[in-house]
């Protein structure tokens, strides 16, 4: 019985690790094509389609724009201060996550990205 419990526990952790690795590969493949797992929320001001709660989905990035589902955020600039690391509750896909502050015409929006994709996404944004 104890051996079975041990085997089940090891199997569960091994399965979870494999699932995480496969999910990460999928995110990496989509990032190479210009689609990133991301989160957006309003920090101050107002932006149609966003609130102070995180909206998590795949996004595409083009010069001065972040698009997520039916939402487009026109970015005037990225805040000059250092990006912050996500808190445990803000982490995307159980991976290190970096959060940037985007300045728009009417709001300051936080943009979270998997840290390993952040430099590529920022370069596509034009920053």
Domain locations in the chain as residue ranges? 2-125
The predicted-structure confidence for 48-103, as pLDDT tens digits, reads as follows 999 999 999 999 999 999 999 999 999 999 998 899 999 999 999 889 999 999 99
Q: What pLDDT, on the 0 to 100 scale, is given for residue 81? A: 86
Q: What is the mean pLDDT of the chain?
A: 86
The predicted-structure confidence for 2-46, as pLDDT tens digits, reads as follows 444 444 544 545 555 555 555 667 678 888 888 999 999 999 999
Q: What pLDDT, on the 0 to 100 scale, is given for residue 16? A: 53
Residue with tokens 């990205």: 113
Q: Rounded mean pLDDT of 114-127?
A: 92
Q: What's the CATH number of domain 2-125, 2.30.29, 2.60.40, 1.10.3430, 2.30.300?
A: 2.30.29
Q: What pLDDT, on the 0 to 100 scale, is given for residue 25? A: 76
Model confidence, pTM: 0.80
């Amino acid at each position: 019985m104890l051996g079975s419990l041990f085997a089940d526990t090891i199997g569960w952790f091994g399965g979870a690790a494999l699932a995480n690795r496969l999910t990460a590969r999928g995110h990496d493949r989509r990032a190479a094509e210009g689609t990133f797992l991301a989160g957006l929320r309003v920090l101050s001001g107002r932006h149609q389609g966003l609130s102070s709660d995180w909206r998590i989905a795949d996004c595409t990035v083009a010069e001065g724009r972040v698009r997520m589902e039916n939402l487009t955020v026109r970015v005037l600039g990225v805040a000059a201060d250092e990006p912050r690391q996500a808190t445990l509750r803000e982490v995307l896909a159980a991976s290190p996550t970096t959060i940037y502050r985007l300045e728009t015409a009417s709001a300051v929006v936080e943009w979270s990205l998997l840290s390993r994709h952040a430099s590529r996404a920022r370069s596509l944004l034009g920053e």
